[in-house]
Amino acid sequence: MIRRAAVMIADDHPLVSQGLKAVLKPQYNVVAVESDAREVVNSALRHRPDVIILDLSMPHRNGLELLPELIAAVPQAKVIVVTMHIDRTLADLAMQSGAHGFLPKESSAEELNNAIAEVLEGKRFISPRVPKRSFRDGAAVEHPELDRLTPRHLEILRLIGDGKSSGEIAEELGLSPRTVEFHRSSIRKALGVTTEIGLVRFAVVLRVGSNRSQESEDTSEA
């Protein structure tokens, strides 16, 4: 009997997770469905899945923070990010953080199955729906909302853009993790961002735009 690949689903929306389970069950062995990011790593260690379907927007920890820890805990698993945020910057950051695949939640069952098949063969998969360039590529970095942030907020936002977790930011700045979480909440309110993944996306896009602006200045000076 041919062994079916084991798949774990990490998504906090019951309709989405149950829909994914229904789509995958005929072809794969769905070993776990997790809705809380704090349980994902332990669950992966228990079930040792071949593939993990990971949502970026989950309670308590966003998927980008979770990815490196998940990859370190179960290096044999292939992680496919499935998200409603379809931006090239996020896709690139997810892949740099260890993801093997990236596709939007509105993808078809056929595309999801193709993604799983490809990552199981050792390939990388990014949905054709993901733009080749970020929506901010080539644009000036102009965000009036940044004027509402304190120097400490800007420092934390820069570190978020560098892909650092709250724990790493706390250690670097000599703060407690709780204080960093308080600042993150304040930054979200100041920027009008409602979710943690939205904050990460803002910080990453801002970082990329700032780097490109600096590169342009360096080129013109040369």
pLDDT (tens digit per residue) in 106-139? 899 999 999 999 999 999 999 998 877 654 443 3
Determine the pLDDT at residue 130: 86
10 Å Cβ neighbour count for 66?
23
- Per-residue pLDDT 10s for the chain (222 aa) are 678 999 999 998 888 999 999 999 999 999 999 998 889 999 999 999 999 999 987 777 778 878 889 999 999 999 999 988 777 778 888 888 899 999 998 899 999 999 999 999 999 999 998 877 654 443 334 466 778 889 999 999 988 877 788 888 999 999 999 999 999 999 999 988 888 878 887 887 776 545 444 444 454 454
Portions of the chain given CATH number 1.10.10.10: 144-217
CATH code for the domain defined by 6-126: 3.40.50.2300
Answer whether 153's CB lies under 8 Å from 190's CB.
Answer: yes
CATH of domain 144-217: 1.10.10.10
CA 18 to chain centre: 21
Tell me the Ramachandran region of residue 163: left when phi exceeds 0, alpha when psi lies from -120 to 50, beta otherwise: left
Token pair of 201, please?
């996306």
CA dihedral for 60, 73, 56, 137, sign (positive or negative): positive
Nearest alpha-carbon partner for 154 in 165, 146, 145, 166: 146
Please list the residue range(s) of the chain that carry CATH number 3.40.50.2300: 6-126
Which H or E run includes 168? helix 166-173
Of 129, 96, 132, the C-alpha closest to 115 is 129
Residue 58 CB-density burial (10 A; 0-12 exposed, 13-18 middle, 19+ buried): buried
pLDDT the model gives residue 182: 94
Check if the beta carbon of residue 67 is closer than 8 Å to that of residue 19. no
pLDDT number for residue 200? 82
* pTM attached to this predicted model: 0.68
The pair of three-digit structure tokens given for residue 98, joined into one six-digit string: 């260890």
